[in-house]
Amino acid sequence: MTDFADLLDGYQRFRTSEYRRHRDRWAELSEGQNPRVMVIACSDSRVDPAQIFDTTPGEIFVVRNVANLVPPFELGGGRHGVSAALEFAVTQLEVPEIVVMGHGACGGVHAALSRRFEHAPPGAGGFIAHWVDMLDEARDRIVAEHGTGEEAIRALELETVRVSLANLRTFPCIPEREAAGTLKLHGAYFAIADGVLHVLGDDGEFAPA
Name 64's bridge partners. Answer: 41
Name 60's bridge partners. Answer: 37
The yes-or-no verdict on residue 106 having pLDDT over 80 is yes
Q: Tens digits of per-residue pLDDT, 174-196? A: 999 999 999 999 999 999 999 99
The yes-or-no verdict on residue 79 having pLDDT over 90 is no
Question: What pLDDT is attached to residue 198?
Answer: 98
Give this prediction's pTM: 0.96
Q: Decide: 206 and 200 in contact? Cβ < 8 Å.
A: yes
**Nearest partner of 106 among 38, 168, 155, 49, judged by Cα:** 155
Query: What is the mean predicted confidence (pLDDT) over 129-133?
Result: 97
Question: What pLDDT is attached to residue 78?
Answer: 86
For residue 184, how many other CB atoms are within 10 A of its CB?
13
The yes-or-no verdict on residue 133 having pLDDT over 80 is yes
The yes-or-no verdict on residue 45 having pLDDT over 90 is yes
What confidence tier does 14 reach under pLDDT thresholds 50, 70, 90? very high
**Percent of the chain's residues with pLDDT above 90:** 97
Mark 164-173 as b/e (b = at least 16 C-beta within 10 Å).
bbebbeebee
Q: Decide: 73 and 170 in contact? Cβ < 8 Å.
A: yes
> How many H-runs (helices) and E-runs (strands) does the chain carry?
10, 6
Question: What pLDDT is attached to residue 178?
Answer: 98
Query: What is the mean predicted confidence (pLDDT) over 151-162?
Result: 98
CA distance 71 to 35: 23
The yes-or-no verdict on residue 155 having pLDDT over 90 is yes
Question: What pLDDT is attached to residue 76?
Answer: 86
Residues present in the chain in total: 209
What's at 11, amino acid-wise? Y
Question: What pLDDT is attached to residue 1?
Answer: 72
What confidence tier does 116 reach under pLDDT thresholds 50, 70, 90? very high
Query: What is the mean predicted confidence (pLDDT) over 115-128?
Result: 96
Q: Decide: 76 and 162 in contact? Cβ < 8 Å.
A: no
The yes-or-no verdict on residue 207 having pLDDT over 80 is yes
What's at 50, amino acid-wise? A
- CB burial of residue 174 (10 Å; 0-12, 13-18, 19+): buried
